[in-house]
Amino acid sequence: MPAPMPAKTALDADAARVEAGPPDEAVGPLVRGVGVLRRLTEAGGTLSPSALERATGLARSTVDRITATLSRMDYVRPDGRDVVLAPRVMELGNAYLAALRLPALLGAHADALADELDESVSLAVADLDGIRFIHQATRHRAMSVSFRIGDLLPAERTAPGSLFATEWTEPDWTRWRARRAADPTDAAFPAVPPLHPPTDDSAFAERVERARRDGWAVDDQLIEPGLVAVSVPVRHPGTSRAACVASVVSHTSRHSATDLRTTLLPRLRTAVTAMESALRTAPPPEPGPPPAGLATWTTASKHQLGRDFVESLARGLTVPAAFGEGRSALSLSEVARATGLARATVRRALLTHEHLGLVRAHPDRTYALTPRILDLGFPPLSRTTLPRLAEPHLRLLADRLHEPTALAVLTPDGTEIQYTAGASASRVLTVHITVGARLPAAATSLGRVLLADTTTPLPPALAEVRARGYALVDEELESGLRSIAVPVRDRSGRTVAALNVATHAARRTLEDCVHQVLPTLRTTADHIESDLRTASRFTHIPAS
């Protein structure tokens, strides 16, 4: 790997490889499409086409064709004049996290430790000479840790980095020194503040030796003033190598670095022992069904969209979907069978992904996803909320029906609803939705849908709502106001919010509400639930 060039953005270590030249068989459109996703990720998930043109150096026509293809895949969506990342792009990172299994096996232990200590707890894996977070249990305080799943941090500024570096070979240290020489202030890592002035590299080597001796490490305000952490490696069963590193993170107003060692380290070690036991006793994963019809879908999309659909980009981005739980390492033939793509197409896609750092080739001629695939959209979307997921769908629904629509949740006492998102309609006579407003739950369609999922035993009216799957309220809250609502369910099937459309009695009859509005309302709820299932597979998505 050539020495990195000075970087302006977080992912230019890979960009340096690209600039050095892809292999002859690399898929050019796939390289460019991944570049677009990365620049969107670096920008927090939103860029205008002209900003993408500047950030990628691509021609505007190329940017337009790539974003049209990514939009067809539902990896990005238009929002006014901007291009925004869509929740479905998290499928790429989900495939890696499912194949890794660590979040599924260890996440509950990390969450329990966070509850016990009332401090943030994270799990991180090594990513070349950096670390990348794969699980976060964050405390909700005015001042709290704000790292996201998928964020990449330089190893030398973290406690986990010192522990991972105890396993580095000389080529690893050479790569690290080259990166430090090219980027001494860490400008290539937007998840951390830049270093001013740069630190002495020998200090990191000393911390690594201390971590090697102690078996744990402390971050005493290495990332920024006030932030402290203590970390312990979680070892692979039967080996001395770290599968990941667990950390307890706090700030100096609550704990000093000495406090972390004396107070929190023993409890962290106990939790890590439980994590290592979970890894030893975990049964072999049962492979889920591989994706189906991907090759057929890309061909059909090409026929429908013509030159605006870049088929080689779409097919290249379907390759990560072949991986997942029980499918962590796959041969070329297995990827081809899972995706329905030709072996030659899969081979070129895998070569391209390997060049981009998203796939690693093993000596046994199998391939595995790397943590770097989390660069593609995961960090900005891992901190989303249900209202943010729902907002674009609410706007489309309001535009289609020319009626206002809203999302609401129950208040903790279950007596009121609180509006969390809404979209208005351009009518003279309309319902105005104010986010944060509250109304009596029993008098609203939104409230009745929510109560029908939480109240036991159910009164007859709510039992009917649950049975038919919607609530229709006719001029009960206010004269002339009709409203119909349906539930929004999470991955477990639990109702976490309700979605409604409101109208005036003079515009739509009750039959119109059921036969004209309800089907479209249910379709919108399905789309929101689909986004929620994808986004919440390895992250916590607040309902409000």
- Average pLDDT score over residue span 319-340: 94
Q: Which of 452, 455, 457, 482 is nearest to 470 (CA)?
A: 452
Q: Which part of the chain is CATH 1.10.10.10?
A: 12-87+287-381
CB 385 within 8 A of CB 394: no
- Average pLDDT score over residue span 444-451: 96
Peptide bond into 287 cis (omega under 30): no
Tokens of 138: 């964050």
User: pLDDT: is 498 or 222 the higher one?
Assistant: 498
The residues, any chain, with a CB within 8 Å of residue 430's CB and separated by 6 or more, are 403, 404, 424
The pLDDT assigned to 251 comes to 87
Tokens of 109: 């232990």
pTM (predicted TM-score): 0.91
Helix locations, 340-385, DSSP H = 343-355, 378-381
The residues, any chain, with a CB within 8 Å of residue 434's CB and separated by 6 or more, are 419, 422
Tokens of 399: 């535009």
Q: Which of 491, 388, 311, 521 is nearest to 77 (CA)?
A: 388
Tokens of 206: 């000393």
Q: Which part of the chain is CATH 3.30.450.40?
A: 102-281, 386-535
- Reduced to 3 states (helix: H, G, I; strand: E, B; else coil), residue 1 is coil
The rounded Cα 169 to chain-centroid distance in angstroms is: 31
Q: What are phi and psi of 460, to 5 degrees?
A: -55, -40
- Residue 24, pLDDT > 80, answer no
- Average pLDDT score over residue span 390-417: 95
Task: For residue 368, list its beta bridge partners.
Answer: 360
The pLDDT assigned to 144 comes to 62
Q: How confident is the model at residue 11 (pLDDT cuts 50, 70, 90)?
A: very low
- Note the pLDDT tens digit of each residue in 101-138: 999 999 999 999 999 999 999 999 999 999 999 999 98
Integer CA distances (angstroms), 390 to 43, 141, 394, in order: 21, 25, 6
- Note the pLDDT tens digit of each residue in 71-94: 999 999 999 899 999 999 999 999
The pLDDT assigned to 404 comes to 93
CATH of 12-87+287-381, one of 1.10.1060.10, 1.10.10.10, 3.40.50.720, 2.40.160.20: 1.10.10.10
- Average pLDDT score over residue span 479-500: 94
The pLDDT assigned to 507 comes to 87
CB 214 within 8 A of CB 172: no
Architecture category of domain 102-281 in CATH: 2-Layer Sandwich (3.30)
Q: Which amino acid is at 383?
A: R
Q: Which of 166, 168, 113, 155 is nearest to 136 (CA)?
A: 113
Report, in angstroms and rounded to the nearest whole number, the Rg of the chain calculated over CA atoms: 25
For the beta carbon of residue 423, count every other beta carbon within 10 angstroms: 20
The pLDDT assigned to 44 comes to 93
The pLDDT assigned to 16 comes to 46
- Residue 310, pLDDT > 80, answer yes
For the beta carbon of residue 331, count every other beta carbon within 10 angstroms: 14
Q: Please classify residue 261 by burial: count the beta carbons closer than 10 Å to its beta carbon, then call 0-12 exposed, 13-18 middle and 19+ buried.
A: middle
The pLDDT assigned to 304 comes to 87
- Reduced to 3 states (helix: H, G, I; strand: E, B; else coil), residue 13 is helix
Instruction: Locate the DSSP E strands across 396-521.
Output: 405-410, 416-423, 438-440, 471-474, 481-489, 495-504
The pLDDT assigned to 472 comes to 96
- Residue 288, pLDDT > 90, answer no
CATH C-level class of 386-535: alpha beta
Mean pLDDT of the chain: 90
Q: Which amino acid is at 351?
A: L
Q: How confident is the model at residue 8 (pLDDT cuts 50, 70, 90)?
A: very low
User: For the chain, first and last CA: distance in Å?
Assistant: 45
- Residue 347, pLDDT > 60, answer yes
Integer CA distances (angstroms), 121 to 146, 231, 243, 250, in order: 12, 10, 16, 9
- Average pLDDT score over residue span 452-480: 88
CB 204 within 8 A of CB 154: no
The rounded Cα 311 to chain-centroid distance in angstroms is: 25
Q: Which of 136, 161, 178 is nearest to 223 (CA)?
A: 161
Q: For residues 320 and 96, give the distance between their C-alpha atoms in angstroms, rounded to a whole number.
A: 8
CB 490 within 8 A of CB 504: no
